[in-house]
A and B are shown apart, each in its own frame.
Chain A
Amino acid sequence: MGDFFGALGDIFTSPTMYGSAVRLGGFLAFAALGELVAEKAGTINISVEGSLLAGAFTGTVAFHLTESTWLGLIAGALGGLIIAWIQANMSHRLTADQFVVGLTANVLVLGLAGFLNGIIDPAARRASIIEIPLLVDIPLFGPALFGETWPTYLLYPLIPLTWWLLYKTRWGLEVRAVGENPQAADVSGIDVNKRRREAIYYGGILAGLGGAFLVLGQVGSFDTGAVGGRGFIAIAAVYFGGWRLGGVLLGSFLFGLADAFRLALPVLGYSLNAQFLAAFPYLLTLVVMYAITKQFRQPAALAQPFVRGLR
């Protein structure tokens, strides 16, 4: 444990650390931004995990076929959307339990990706790095934020876009109303379950994009274990952020930092128990959730199904 604390000092001054924190946090942020919208509308969308993996896989396959990162990213978004479509329509059209559907969708994606990966065996490659002049020279965070592979930069416009959608558009107002008081939204003439489905679609697209970004912007190859529960951490980031955009981003970064910490230690020459390091992000997520969950008011109808006339 002495090692551990000795390492902390080095690590928190290491640019490598922040670089990987932003990369891993960025991956989480794609999913968490989408999940935020889905939860604002009242769904705890655990199929975000499946959307991430589906996006990673379809993105890889599209790249394999076309050698185009752009098409890979678009295919990733579509892959995520397909899972979201299943989740949304099963739970908010057919009124099946949202957790049952989400869990099953995750198992489905895991099986499909494993099955098809063995057959297609797609190859991928990391996209090229584009450095943004001047900004990249900011100490510590500069290289991490502005000296990355170009798909990373897709995240930046998504942040204001999500904010604008949620707080400045009628659609966002209706999404928030639907998550707070579906009965009221219903009598105001809003199709509650349609808004909920749309919010899940948005979440699926972003998660799919995040999955494709993981392969094409970071790792450079596909593996069925690549997502490994990060979708659930993204959900935790939404809780951490108290259903506020800034908080959700902070949560993504924090959990990304935990992931980065795990990767950075060995690089810096510290040896620490490998299993502890691998468990660290999940452990931190649990501890943080325990500490903060009661602090915030969640959308009042979160995880409550809406059927007209059923209270």
Chain B
Amino acid sequence: MTTNGEELSDGQPVLELRGMTKRFVDVVACDGVDLALRPGEIHGILGENGAGKSTLMRMTIGLVIPDAGSMSIDGEPCTIVDPIDAAKRGIGMVHQHYSLVDDLTVWENVALGEHGAIDRDATRSRVKSISLRYGLDVDPDAYVRDLSAGIRQRVEIIKCLRHQPRIIILDEPTSVLTPGESEYLFEVLGEGVRREGWAVALVSHKLDEVLQASDRITIMRDGKVVERVLTADADAPSLARAMVGRDVALRSESFALGASMEGAVAVTDTAASTDVAPVLEVENGAVRAADGAVLLDGLTVQVRPGEIVGVAGVEGNGQTTLARTLSSLIKLDAGTVRVDGEAIPTGKAGSMHRAGIAVIPADRHHSGCIPEMTVAENLVLSSLDAMSDRGILRREDIAARAGELIEEFDIHTSGCDVPFAQLSGGNQQRAVLARALSINPKVLVAHQPTRGLDVGAIEYIGDRLRAAADSGIGVLLLSTDLGEIAALSDRIVVIYRGRIIGEMDRASLDMERLGLLIGGSTAGEATP
């Protein structure tokens, strides 16, 4: 295998980056990265979270100004000051999150990120013609807030294609899509690459995806390029090694790398037998949003002690509502939540917590932690009563307890009195997990517990969840990552539009059927 990109070159690159470097005070996010994108090619950029892929791409479209390095387009050196400038030079980016404004219509969103007067009719007809041309059906007058995740991504792509880019950057494009939708996305991309000679950069941390879709792969680690290969010459184990920087047992770590290895799913026999009474029951849970949208639609799910129930589904199908309901944040309009057979009032401050439900939220900053408070304070948040005498905090006990948890969960911090915000993402998540498990819960709800973490942390969290189940806790794992669900769950249910539409246990796991189900296709299903 070669590490020399030039040897692989066969076409003239349309975009060349040389020595791109970005430091943030004392962290080097990108360190002298070279990259060349060629027309008619999909170039996979593979790396763990934190490897510097996003920073590199953000520099390319002018969202981050590089400290050093040069860019050239068609051999002409240039500097790009902002995304609009990038668009003018033919570079477009499809963002993973946060780039559409809910309260604006599709055409208004498409018109954002341009210069000059806005022309409603011209923009609308342009949206329509792009829709038609690439098979991205969408109504230009619809409000984005009413659209599903898949349709939103179409809008993202149209927003990008609006400028007729020659260079397209996709940042983790499939994280919100069903397998079917992902396939369609890559079809559209492949069409564009073949017909119009696009140069595509596909940024991803999923091995399989990059192996399947790309022509050429660049692997980044710790801000540097560690390997460049033609996809035809690549194989999964060596890519994984390059990504992580050590040998990887694909059997146990496959889901962390987004690779579905044959036989990677290790069947264990820890599943609780079906005659044990469930520790958590959600029965016919229904919630409507203030604007009338249905969030949960008669959802029923049960978790028995000692089992991990994986809730698979595409983002936005009710997982967040379910997790927030189990965090006492949302009151059910109808239905009940029971722990050990006892009904728990929903939406009442701390009721779920008192009943023994611990939750690891998908968005730590939403309901998981308080970045402004100290590490110790964050760790003992849920167990203040045990740390106080008649309302007065026992500070030594707090420090001692925090010390224990820091050690037990191997949280890297310079002390327990430093602000929580100073921890890295992986350590923050370990702390959230530590707190959740420290109250000896009966039920542990983990919502996207590994998103955005590096491989080491992903493995760690997975092991912990498994161990929690083995110790008799009922674990509810909500994830959009089918690999993660498949690797960890004893039983898998599929959530779609606020209800459970299918169930399978580990023994009868069928990835293809699972993929169809999460897209809402229940054809041939005996709906439970």
Contact = CB atoms under 8 A, between A and B. Distances in A.
A and B in direct contact, judged by CB atoms within 8 A: yes
A170 B117 contact: yes
A169 B159 CA distance: 19
A131 interface: no
Contacts of A191: 82
Interface stretch (A103-111, A134-142, A172-180): A172-180
Contact of A180 (B86, B102, B117, B159): B102
Nearest to A294: B290
Q: Is the interface of B mostly helix, strand, loop or mixed?
A: loop
Contact of B101 (A168, A169, A184): A184
B100 A184 contact: yes
A185 interface: yes
A177 B102 CA distance: 9
A297 B103 CA distance: 10
Interface in A158-195: 168-170, 173-174, 176-177, 180-181, 183-191
Most chain-B CB neighbours within 10 Å: which of A169, A180, A191? A180
Given A170-B118, A173-B108, A173-B111, A189 B102 contact: no
Interface residues of A, number: 22
A177 B117 contact: no
Interface string A294-311: 000101100000000001
A186 B62 CA distance: 11
Main SS at interface, chain A:
helix
Contact of B98 (A173, A187, A190, A300): A187
A188 B117 contact: no
Interface string A256-300: 000000000000000000000000000000000000000001011
B104 A177 contact: yes
A181 B114 contact: no
B133 interface: no
Contacts, number: 69
Contacts of A168: 118
Contacts of A189: 62, 82-87, 113
A174 B104 CA distance: 10
Given A189-B83, A189-B87, A181 B115 contact: no
Contacts of B116: 170
A311 B93 CA distance: 21
A170 B111 contact: yes
Contact of B112 (A183, A185, A297): A185
B434 to A, nearest CB: 23
A191 B115 CA distance: 13
B95 interface: yes
Nearest to B290: A297
B62 A173 contact: no
A77 B114 CA distance: 31
Contacts of A180: 101-104
Interface centre among A169, A181, A183, A188 (most CB of B within 10 A): A188
A188 B99 CA distance: 7
Give chain B's interface residue range (CB within 8 Å of chain A). Answer: 20 to 34
A180 B84 CA distance: 20
A300 B112 CA distance: 18
A307 to B, nearest CB: 13
B365 A177 contact: no
A169 B112 contact: no
A187 B114 contact: no
B103 A170 contact: no
B114 A190 contact: no
B83 A188 contact: yes
A111 to B, nearest CB: 33
B101 A181 contact: yes
B63 interface: yes
A174 B87 CA distance: 17
Interface in A11-28: none
A189 B116 CA distance: 14
The residue among A170, A186, A311 with the most chain B CB atoms within 10 A of its own CB is A170
A185 B101 contact: yes
A311 B108 CA distance: 24
Contacts of B104: 173, 176-177, 180
Contact of A174 (B82, B100, B112): B112
Contacts of B62: 189
A194 to B, nearest CB: 11
A311 B118 contact: no
A292 to B, nearest CB: 15
B63 A187 contact: yes
Nearest to B81: A189
Interface string A120-159: 0000000000000000000000000000000000000000
Given A173-B108, A177-B112, A189-B113, A184 B98 contact: yes
Contacts of A184: 98-101, 112
B103 A300 contact: yes
Interface in B52-94: 62-63, 82-87, 93
A188 B113 contact: yes
Contacts of B115: 170
Interface string A212-229: 000000000000000000
Contacts of B118: 168-170, 173
A143 to B, nearest CB: 40
Contacts of B365: 311
Contacts of B103: 176, 180-181, 297, 299-300
Contacts of B93: 187
Contact of A188 (B102, B112, B291): B112
B100 A170 contact: no
A295 to B, nearest CB: 11
B101 A187 contact: no
A181 B98 contact: yes
A12 B84 CA distance: 55
A168 B119 CA distance: 9
Contacts of B159: 188
Interface string B431-452: 0000000000000000000000
A230 B97 CA distance: 41
A188 B112 CA distance: 6
10 contacts: A168-B118, A170-B118, A173-B104, A181-B98, A183-B98, A184-B112, A187-B63, A188-B83, A191-B82, A299-B103
Given A183-B98, A187-B83, 10 more contacts: A173-B108, A176-B101, A181-B100, A183-B97, A184-B99, A185-B112, A189-B84, A190-B113, A297-B103, A311-B365
